[in-house]
Chains A and B, each alone.
Chain A
Amino acid sequence: MGWFSRLLGRGERAGPATRAAREERGRNAGVLLPDPGPVPADAADKSRQQALVADLFSRMAEVVATAQTAVEDVDREARSATEAIFSSMEVVLNEAVTRMRQLEGTLVGCLSLESETSLVARVLTEGERSGRNLQEGLAGLGAALRRISSEYRELVDRLGTERLAALAQEIQAVARHTALLSLNASIEAARVREHGRGFSVIAAEIRQLVEKTGHAARAVARLSEEMRSELLGYASALEAEAKGADTAMAEAERLRQESATALLETAQRIDALAGALRAGLSELEKAVNGVLQTLQFQDIVGQKLTAAAGLLGSIRAVLAELSAADLPAVSEEALRGYVARVREAVTPHSLSLLRPQALRTGRVGKVYAEFGDNVELF
């Protein structure tokens, strides 16, 4: 068996020890090096065959070069596009972040307002309590005034100014009667002349006493009337005050209800605004996160293209050298070197970069469910 056949792996004696390594090598050889067909029998056929192989290598190198150029173009375009996208996205994101910060600022303001609303609610509660205290106070004052007024009326009755007036009239009647008696006594005293002189003095004194009693009785009657009038007037004033307290109480209640309604409506509007801002902020954050994840995919694609271009470049270089070489003159050792270069290019590292993401398996560290299965902590 010649070097060429052995080079391609057919009948190769010094093979690797493991099955996996054999499969890996076979896979690489099968993909990268074409089967040249049966080994030629005579020298002319061998020469033609070698020329064909050289031509084949040359064409393969051209194809690989085309593929490499295409991949490099795509890679370059992809990177350029990624950069352009990122620049555009960055503008959008910066704008979004600015807007988000503004929204956050507004939200913080709203939250602060919410706090203030809470404060307002507390003030409102306190105000309501104070208002109710005021109402209760006013109601108490009104009741007290009415009670005092009633008590004053009772006092007027209890003091009996009417009875005093009646007493005064009675005193006056007694006085008139006494005056009449005094007059009769004076007539009788004159009739008995000398013997009745002393009686006449008494009668005069009685008459004076009657006049004084009459004056006192009238004074009592006037005082009684004045006192009654004063007390009734005072009671009326108290009633008026009680009515004023009722009016103030009704006004306080009306103002309390109006302010409470206005404050609660404001609080509801603030709460609705804060909710809308929160929802908007959340949506904006989702959009930003979506863009950032898309950029990661762009980066992954770029890495894959770079790996593919590197792989193709390595193969192309080997194929180009082989196609240009005088194959029969190339030593077997040199050819093995070419194959080694091709195999070195197809490393597990470069292959792993080209594998689909779904193939990522195998764990070393502990996977924390809270972070997802693509995170491991050692």
Chain B
Amino acid sequence: MGKLVMVVDDSATVRRSLQLILGKAGYIVDAAANAEEAMKKLSEAKADLVITDLNMPGCDGIELTRRIRSLPSYRAVPILLLTTEAQVSRKEEGRQAGATGWITKPFQTEQLLRLVERLLA
């Protein structure tokens, strides 16, 4: 059975793109448009990896990372922040919140797949 990847992004384009890329690579992909939806889905089914956008209405990706890390079953699950931002201060915030990595858009499909493969190894 393939590994479950949760994609969190308020952009439908990004969600669908990631679903297409990761789905074709054999991963099971679920998606959420905001932090609340993501938390609900993550508590229902244990994801093996979370990829979240940084800038979302309401709860942003860094706060979502904190919330996910507060769940006992998600302390060791890799969380990847996928964003157009690359400020050092924001990255540091992400790191302190418990994110595993940071990938700045635009990314190459192959690049993302290699990274996901590494994080799920």
| A 285-305 contacts with B by CB, 8 A | 288-289, 292-293, 295-300, 302-303
A378 near B108: Cβ-Cβ < 8 Å: no
Residue among B16, B91, B108, B109 making CB contact with A86, cutoff 8 Å: B16
B92 near A364: Cβ-Cβ < 8 Å: yes
Query: Interface 1/0s, chain A 331-353, versus B by CB < 8 A?
Result: 00000000000000000110011
In the complex, chain A residues whose CB is within 8 Å of the CB of B11: 299, 302
A348 near B87: Cβ-Cβ < 8 Å: yes
B111 near A295: Cβ-Cβ < 8 Å: no
A374 near B103: Cβ-Cβ < 8 Å: yes
- What's the nearest-Cβ distance from chain B to residue A88, in Å? 12
In the complex, chain B residues whose CB is within 8 Å of the CB of A83: 12-13
Complex Cα distance A295/B111, Å? 16
| B 73-121 contacts with A by CB, 8 A | 84-92, 94-95, 99-111, 114-115, 118
Complex Cα distance A352/B88, Å? 11
Complex Cα distance A349/B93, Å? 13
B109 near A292: Cβ-Cβ < 8 Å: yes
A43 contacts B by Cβ under 8 Å: no
A27 contacts B by Cβ under 8 Å: no
B12 near A372: Cβ-Cβ < 8 Å: no
Closest to B102 in A: A376
Query: Interface 1/0s, chain A 348-378, versus B by CB < 8 A?
Result: 1100110001011111110000111011111
A162 contacts B by Cβ under 8 Å: no
A371 near B20: Cβ-Cβ < 8 Å: no
Complex Cα distance A357/B87, Å? 11
B24 contacts A by Cβ under 8 Å: yes
- What's the nearest-Cβ distance from chain B to residue A202, in Å? 119
A298 near B111: Cβ-Cβ < 8 Å: no
- What's the nearest-Cβ distance from chain B to residue A75, in Å? 13
- What's the nearest-Cβ distance from chain A to residue B78, in Å? 9
Residue among B102, B105, B106 making CB contact with A378, cutoff 8 Å: B102
**Given A362-B91, A365-B101, A376-B101: A353 in contact with B85 (beta carbons within 8 A):** yes
Question: Which 8 pairs across A and B sit closest by C-beta, in order of nearness?
Answer: A360-B86, A362-B88, A364-B91, A374-B104, A296-B106, A289-B109, A377-B101, A378-B95
Sample of 15 further A-B pairs with CB below 8 A, known A93-B20, A292-B17: A82-B13, A86-B16, A289-B109, A357-B84, A360-B86, A362-B86, A362-B87, A362-B88, A364-B91, A371-B114, A374-B111, A375-B103, A375-B111, A376-B91, A378-B94
Residues of A within 8 A of B (CB): 82-83, 86, 90, 93, 97, 288-289, 292-293, 295-300, 302-303, 348-349, 352-353, 357, 359-365, 370-372, 374-378
Can you list 27 residue pairs at the A/B interface with Cβ under 8 Å? A82-B13, A83-B12, A90-B16, A97-B20, A289-B109, A292-B21, A296-B14, A296-B105, A352-B87, A353-B85, A357-B106, A360-B86, A361-B86, A363-B88, A364-B94, A365-B101, A370-B114, A372-B107, A372-B108, A374-B111, A375-B102, A375-B103, A375-B115, A376-B103, A377-B101, A378-B100, A378-B101
